[in-house]
Homo-oligomer: A and B are copies of this chain.
Amino acid sequence: MRGSIFGKMFSMTTFGESHGPALGVVLDGVPSGLDFNLEDLQAMLDKRAPGRSKGVTARKEADKAEILSGVFENKTLGTPIAVIIRNTNQRSKDYDKLKDNYRPGHADRTYDLKYGIRDHRGGGRSSGRETVARVVAGYFASLVLPKVKVNTFISKLGPFECENIIKSFPQDLGTYNFGDPSKDQEIEKYLIDLKAKGDSVGGRISVNIENCPVGLGEPAFDKLKADLAKAVLSIGACVAFSFGAGVKMADMSGQEVSVDSANFGGIEGGISNGEMINLDLTFKPTSTVGANAKEGRHDPCILPRAVVVVESMVRVVLADHFLRQKAYEV
């Protein structure tokens, strides 16, 4: 009830401060008998890791997954799966100056107001490092629905913009997870300039879900769109959610909307209809700006690293609703 548990049938409980000993997740509800592959999990974690290029932070975080339970001889047991990731490079000295210093747009002040206490080192529990646990969950969720594609990419990064629906999704999204990888060099230059100026930038991440089973989502409160919205808005920097024609609907007439079922974004009455589900999520610019932002470890744009986190949260929602629906099927 302090908000660290997500999902009902496929549930994850996460924990960890950015500069404590470890972060991690316990998954209660992963079916038994699924094939586990540590390399695949590690590859998914690496997508979130920084330091892949000059445009994103150079901090070396060794996000190495350690399985503590629930997997035996590379099969899931059906029992809770616990995975931890040690914080190897804590450098808490760097953060001592943050103790009495509230950063705007961060949780520093609200945490102090809420708890009366805070681990001030690097954001503590509110740090983006918390999302590493979500990616672990996303990996196991992908085992539940292996045929579902959750194509996730940046469709807007500052001045760069591409379509939010990609028909032939590329195998390799490039360095920045931008929908059009041919722009990578330009993006890199843009981000380096931005960092040199101590500035940052936001953008939009889009999701194209293919092969989603029909019938996912529950009437009333647990509509698929509602649970997807909650899932992605629980990511720190996400500030807006839209599905199908979304915000454009405010400018459309009913007759225009009814022409193309894609406007409904694959969800009718809150329930998946088997068509492509597409989501558009706005992310705010990194809050750290000015002199601090010029230091090595700050990203001028969080979106490249957030892509796999978004994919993971979407996968968890789908796996959860899939298991829920399975319970009731005739």
Contact surface of A with B, Cβ cutoff 8 Å: 1-6, 8-9, 11, 13-17, 20-24, 26, 28-29, 31-33, 66-70, 72, 75, 77-82, 84, 104-111, 113-119, 124-126, 130, 156, 158, 194, 198-204, 214-215, 217-223, 225-227, 229-231, 233-234, 236, 239-247, 249-258, 261, 263-265, 268-273, 282-290, 293, 300, 323-328, 330
Bound Cα distance A256, B11 (Å): 38
Set B15, B223, B287, B327: member contacting A82, Cβ < 8 A: B15
- Assembly stoichiometry (copies): 4
Q: In the complex, which residue of chain B has the Cβ closest to the Cβ of A21?
A: B68
Do the beta carbons of A254 and B327 come within 8 Å of each other? no
Do the beta carbons of B4 and A268 come within 8 Å of each other? no
Do the beta carbons of B252 and A246 come within 8 Å of each other? no
Set B3, B8, B17: member contacting A72, Cβ < 8 A: B17
Q: In the complex, which residue of chain B has the Cβ closest to the Cβ of A75?
A: B117
Bound Cα distance A249, B77 (Å): 32
Do the beta carbons of B126 and A254 come within 8 Å of each other? no
With A249-B202, A323-B327 known as contacts, the answer to whether A105 contacts B270 (CB < 8 A) is no
Residues of B within 8 A of A246 (CB): 239-240, 282
Of A3, A82, A261, most B-chain CB atoms within 10 Å: A3
Classify the secondary structure of A's interface with B.
mixed
With A4-B221, A215-B113 known as contacts, the answer to whether A28 contacts B13 (CB < 8 A) is yes
A-B contacts, 22 listed (Cβ < 8 Å)? A2-B28, A2-B29, A2-B78, A4-B26, A5-B5, A6-B220, A20-B70, A31-B330, A32-B115, A33-B117, A78-B328, A79-B119, A113-B271, A221-B234, A222-B234, A223-B234, A225-B233, A229-B229, A230-B233, A241-B241, A246-B282, A327-B327
A88 to chain B, nearest CB (A): 14
With A4-B221, A119-B72 known as contacts, the answer to whether A80 contacts B110 (CB < 8 A) is no
Counting from the closest, the 5 A-B pairs by CB-CB distance are A107-B269, A3-B218, A3-B222, A200-B254, A230-B230
A12 to chain B, nearest CB (A): 9
Bound Cα distance A125, B240 (Å): 28
Q: In the complex, which residue of chain B has the Cβ closest to the Cβ of A215?
A: B114
A43 to chain B, nearest CB (A): 22
Set B20, B124, B223, B241: member contacting A3, Cβ < 8 A: B223
Residues of B within 8 A of A241 (CB): 229, 233, 240-242
Bound Cα distance A196, B288 (Å): 53
